[in-house]
Chain A
């Protein structure tokens, strides 16, 4: 439907690959997460609640794995924003998942310093081992393979980050298989590559 006879907006003229957010089940924060969010909101001026929107979206993601329309509406209600404003923010930042992902999201840094030391081959090896292309999740819902832009640890290149938080440093393409098997066998306990954990 168009408002002007010369400007037609049907599918022949205008195509967008924008996906409408997944509706998802009804969403409310668990009482603990709600308390956590209220604590974060209190750190900002009382008329600037929306400063906490990134933190709120992280909490939604923590609770149900990815962001749904219902989750974003819930956040909008708490922070006095419109759902469109929340979606505007959510779709901008790469660390928010807009569709379901695996339990273990492998994020390989692909930018120059890592790439110079073989990040492309790390991605290749992961892709082969898991039988996944970049951006895909395996059928069992265990692994998602992603590429990430510079993680800021170029001296320990190449880096593979897991679930937005756990880092594996100086990853070699030939060691990738072992890492995956280790994660399959031991779950969370396999994440220990961060030098801060190692050095202290």
Chain B
């Protein structure tokens, strides 16, 4: 499939307004502003566009839930807090084509009747934000954003809001809390943001890639969009392949492409002489798949059938030099560090999982530690306000499920049994 969202991503100056308007930029917005908002929502529903942030919830439906008859202002929050380990697609979109995102935001605002879109960008993407702010100023100057857009009488502002380093801010209600100037901690749902979100007003929270798909849907129609992938998994999709592959990167294709094709044909396959041991198909929060499970289409539904999730489509490949106890420990360090601390199972449990895994990896563990790991993991998953709890337990639970023998070998031998050359001799002292 020819790339649609990243068509011009490799060309110099593709991020500028001049380049974008020369390539039919903002034409979809003009067309959208000529449509009734309801018709626009119906179009997006018919296209079957599903949220690209991780959960895969139908975008049209999400918009339909946004309260209509209310005196309160409505908001679009664009989730650009791309922090899921292994995911870097929104980074590319914003860096190489920020106007596509602005156009998507404006279309979204028109559909739900919002006058402001907040783009919550993670603090680490400061170099991207600088580019976006400069481009946004140009779009304002040309009357593409702001008051009376394209002379249609539609007013809409876009505000770029810089986060400050919190993985949890990627959860939609935590993102809203953070935007309100509080700690990024999730809210109890319901009420969902569509009813009571930012400043207690109806809000739609959409991922960057989701919003970037809107111009293409409006230009080419819902049937075209749906035809690009399997049933209910239409449209172009960005896949991020990283880890032990020859050519890591972002690849755009339809969701009929299999995981194996993505890893071997697009990302060049594993390094010479090495074999794939495990693959995380959708960002670090999802269960791992083994080499023999890779011949499935990389769609939301097919990956779910195989027992994992497409999530944010961050595919992390680990080859046979990887110690799975070490990999689980690495991810648990991430989750214990990033837990927002609101729910006890996740705040305390994540730390315990990390401690147990460290013990096992250092060869100081006992055989009962493996069952303890599973027990603690099961007491986190499903017992927290947001999906973070499940995400934190997953690396521990699935590595034990598939590689129990490796855990047992660590206990038996009293050391790591697969120490690779690319790892440090010992973990750095004083790590937080």
Contact = CB atoms under 8 A, between A and B. Distances in A.
A93 B167 CA distance: 10
Contacts of A110: 330, 333, 431
Nearest to B337: A149
Contact of A157 (B13, B165, B248): B248
B254 to A, nearest CB: 21
A33 interface: no
A58 B83 contact: no
Interface string B182-220: 111000000000000001000000000000000000000
A45 B159 CA distance: 12
Contact of B164 (A93, A111, A149, A150): A93
Contact of B334 (A43, A92, A111, A154): A111
B428 A51 contact: no
A98 B316 CA distance: 34
B5 to A, nearest CB: 16
A194 B126 CA distance: 11
Interface residues of B, number: 70
A78 interface: no
Max chain A Cβ within 10 angstroms of own Cβ: one of B88, B91, B427? B88
A150 B83 contact: yes
A121 B86 contact: no
Interface string B333-360: 1100110100000000000000000000
Interface string A18-58: 00000000000000000000000001110010111111011
Interface string B62-94: 000000000001000000001111111011000
A164 interface: yes
Contacts of B126: 164-165
B424 interface: yes
Nearest to B422: A118
A81 B167 CA distance: 25
Given A120-B424, A133-B429, A149 B183 contact: no
Given A134-B432, A152-B91, A155-B248, A112 B83 contact: no
A148 to B, nearest CB: 8
B183 A89 contact: yes
Contact of B322 (A55, A116, A167): A116
B327 A112 contact: yes
Interface string A163-192: 011110000000000000000000000000
Given A152-B83, A155-B240, A127 B428 contact: yes
Contacts of A118: 422-423
B22 interface: no
B88 A155 contact: yes
Interface in A67-126: 79, 81, 88-89, 92-96, 110-113, 115-118, 120-121, 123-124
A54 B164 CA distance: 7
A198 B165 CA distance: 25
A93 B241 CA distance: 28
Contact of B159 (A43, A81, A157, A167): A43
Given A120-B423, A165-B126, A199-B12, A52 B86 contact: no
Interface stretch (B23-31, B117-125, B298-306): B117-125
A54 B199 contact: no
A54 B88 contact: no
Contacts of B423: 115, 118, 120-121
Max chain B Cβ within 10 angstroms of own Cβ: one of A124, A135, A150? A150
Interface residues of A, number: 59
B166 A94 contact: yes
Contacts of A112: 85-86, 243, 280, 284, 316, 327, 330-331, 334
A17 B374 CA distance: 30
Contacts of A140: none
Contacts of A116: 242-244, 316, 318, 322, 422
Given A58-B164, A112-B316, A154-B240, A147 B432 contact: yes
Contacts of B122: 152
Interface in B143-181: 157, 159, 161-167, 178-181
Contacts of A95: 123-124, 164-165
A152 B124 contact: yes
Given A54-B164, A134-B432, A194 B127 contact: yes
Contact of A57 (B164, B340, B427): B164
Interface in B221-241: 240-241
A37 B157 CA distance: 18
B48 interface: no
A152 B182 CA distance: 23
Given A153-B88, A153-B91, A155-B249, A135 B183 contact: no
B405 interface: no
B54 to A, nearest CB: 14
A166 to B, nearest CB: 7
A155 B314 CA distance: 10
Max chain A Cβ within 10 angstroms of own Cβ: one of B88, B164, B182, B430? B164
B4 interface: no
Given A112-B243, A121-B422, A151-B124, A92 B183 contact: yes
A120 B157 CA distance: 43
Nearest to B340: A92
20 contacts: A51-B161, A54-B164, A79-B181, A88-B183, A93-B166, A113-B85, A116-B322, A118-B422, A118-B423, A121-B422, A134-B429, A136-B430, A147-B432, A152-B83, A152-B87, A153-B91, A154-B87, A154-B316, A155-B248, A200-B13
What 7 pairs between A and B have smallest CB-CB spacing? Answer: A50-B181, A154-B242, A93-B164, A120-B424, A133-B430, A95-B165, A94-B165
Given A43-B157, A152-B124, 5 more contacts: A88-B182, A89-B181, A112-B243, A112-B331, A157-B242
